[in-house]
């Protein structure tokens, strides 16, 4: 295969992989294409957690008349094929069984149960392996997955809405509508793409939020509420058991259906405990929609990867000041029906 086309086929792998967003976590998003003499004869992606991986769907998609071409084809895959038995058999062994002669990989999987083992299986079978094609884009696609396994914590996205004057709530702390209905739909799309959503006590009590993605499609995130003394009234939405909910509290641990209270030591720094707890529960990413206190705690700790700030068209000339990001890099700015949406990344070293 002419290596000059590598990036074209790998870009197609990334396009396919993104179709699995919101459905495959805690697995990574992966796309694969099978190419014979410049023609794609098969393609697939990981569609749902627990179901077939990208390589399997790619091979299955090959038409009967093209199946004899598989051994003479090159498979492109955005992430190193898995080498362990999990919900499904190892994809590296499938490639060997299909006698595919060459595999081109976007990036190596740093997950400890894979990390180079898939490549080793392929090479031991005499398959030619090339790596690091669109490596940066391949890692960025799965930065939640890589952050979780390399830093032993969820990928953290901060989100808030503020007025042009820099306020996010009325002076008494009561909620004020700042963003428009179209932006609300976008926020619910964001929720559908993450495994968890987090607020603090003040937001839980003042807003009585649902924290679901009712204005979009897909699975609701796990609701995470920091509530030391369980001040959130029991008749509020967060206690309704409609979706898995964790109350991080200083009170005794309990479980009632989908709702749990999880004990933490509020006499010690909370965020490290929270990160460990969420890592143990395999929650790969969290959208933090709390009020200024919770948001500022994450910012002060440098514990965030992305921030999305909505500057609404509705006026709020005074009130509760919105957080100020430190060490941030503005990467994108968009307009949505009058609302400005600013996307930031944390400049800290070691980020994906």
How far apart are the two ends of the chain, measured CA to CA in Å?
30
Per-residue pLDDT tens for 84-118? 777 778 999 999 999 999 999 999 988 766 678 99
124 as an active site residue: the answer is no
pLDDT band per the 50, 70, 90 thresholds, residue 350: very low
Q: What is the pLDDT of residue 112?
A: 64
Mean pLDDT of all residues in 17-33: 94
- The 3-class SS string of the chain reads CCHHHHHHHHHHHHHHHHCCCCCCCCCCCCEEEEEECCEEEEEEECCCCCCCCHHHHHHHCCCHHHHHHHHHCEEEEEECCCCCCCCCCCHHHHHHHCCCCEEEEEECCCCCCCCCHHHHHHHHCCCEEECCCCHHHHHHHCHHHHHHHHHCCCEEEEEEEECCCCEEECCCCCCCCCCCHHHHHHHHHHHHCCCEEEEEHHHHHHHCCCCCCCCCCCCCCEEEEECCCCCCCCCCHHHCCCCCEEEEECCCCEEECCEEEEECCCCCCHHHHHHHHHHHCCCCEEEECCCHHHHHHHHHCCCCCEEEEEECCCCCCCCEECCCCCCEEEEEEEEECCEEEEEEEECCCCCC
pLDDT band per the 50, 70, 90 thresholds, residue 299: very high
* Feature table: binding site for Zn(2+): 53, 82, 91
More confident residue, 34 or 314: 34
Mean pLDDT of all residues in 7-32: 95
* Feature table: binding site for NADP(+): 161, 207
Q: Give me the half-sphere count of Cα atoms (radius 13 Å) on the Cβ side of residue 106.
A: 29
Cα dist from 36 to 71, 98, 138, 236, 261, whole Å: 9, 14, 23, 58, 55
Q: What is the pLDDT of residue 295?
A: 97
Q: What is the pLDDT of residue 258?
A: 97
* Feature table: binding site: 53, 82, 91, 161, 191, 203, 207, 211, 214, 289
Q: What is the pLDDT of residue 334?
A: 97
Contact 278, 194 (CB under 8 A): no
Per-residue pLDDT tens for 184-195? 999 999 999 999
More confident residue, 173 or 253: 253
Q: Which of 43, 55, 80, 193 is catalytic?
A: 55
Per-residue pLDDT tens for 142-184? 999 999 999 999 999 999 999 999 999 888 877 788 999 999 9
Q: What is the pLDDT of residue 113?
A: 67
Complete domains list, the chain, with CATH: 2-148 (3.40.140.10), 154-346 (3.40.430.10)
Contact 200, 294 (CB under 8 A): yes
Q: What is the pLDDT of residue 349?
A: 53
pLDDT band per the 50, 70, 90 thresholds, residue 351: very low
């Amino acid at each position: 295969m002419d290596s000059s086309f590598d990036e074209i086929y790998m870009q197609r792998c990334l396009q396919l992989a993104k179709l699995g967003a919101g459905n495959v976590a805690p697995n990574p998003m992966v796309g694969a294409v099978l190419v014979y003499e410049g023609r794609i004869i098969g393609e697939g992606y990981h569609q749902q957690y627990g179901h077939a991986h990208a390589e399997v769907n790619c091979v299955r998609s090959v038409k009967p008349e093209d199946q004899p071409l598989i051994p003479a084809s090159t498979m492109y895959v955005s992430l190193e094929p898995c080498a362990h038995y999990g919900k499904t058999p190892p994809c590296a062994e499938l490639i060997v069984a299909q006698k595919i002669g060459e595999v081109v990989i976007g990036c190596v999987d740093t997950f400890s149960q894979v990390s180079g083992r898939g490549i080793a299986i392929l090479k031991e079978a005499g398959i030619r392996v090339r790596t690091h094609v669109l490596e940066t884009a391949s890692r960025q696609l799965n930065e939640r997955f890589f952050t979780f396994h390399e830093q032993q914590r969820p990928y953290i996205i901060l989100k808030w809405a503020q007025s042009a004057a820099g306020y996010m709530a009325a002076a008494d702390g009561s909620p004020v509508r700042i963003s428009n209905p179209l932006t609300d739909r976008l926020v619910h799309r964001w929720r559908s793409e993450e495994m968890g959503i987090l607020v603090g006590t003040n937001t839980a009590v003042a807003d009585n939020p649902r924290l679901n993605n009712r204005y979009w499609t897909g699975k609701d995130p796990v609701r995470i509420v920091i509530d030391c003394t369980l001040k959130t009234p029991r008749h509020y939405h967060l206690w309704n058991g409609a979706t898995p909910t964790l109350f991080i509290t200083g009170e005794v641990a309990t479980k009632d259906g989908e709702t749990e209270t999880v004990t933490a030591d509020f006499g010690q720094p909370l965020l490290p405990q929270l990160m460990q707890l969420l890592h143990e529960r395999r929650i790969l990413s969290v959208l933090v929609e709390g009020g200024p206190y919770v948001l500022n705690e994450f910012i002060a700790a440098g514990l965030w990867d992305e921030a999305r700030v909505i500057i609404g068209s509705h006026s709020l000339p005074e009130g509760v000041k919105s957080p100020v990001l430190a060490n941030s890099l503005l990467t994108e700015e968009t307009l949505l029906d009058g609302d400005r949406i600013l996307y930031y990344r944390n400049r800290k070293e070691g980020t994906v």
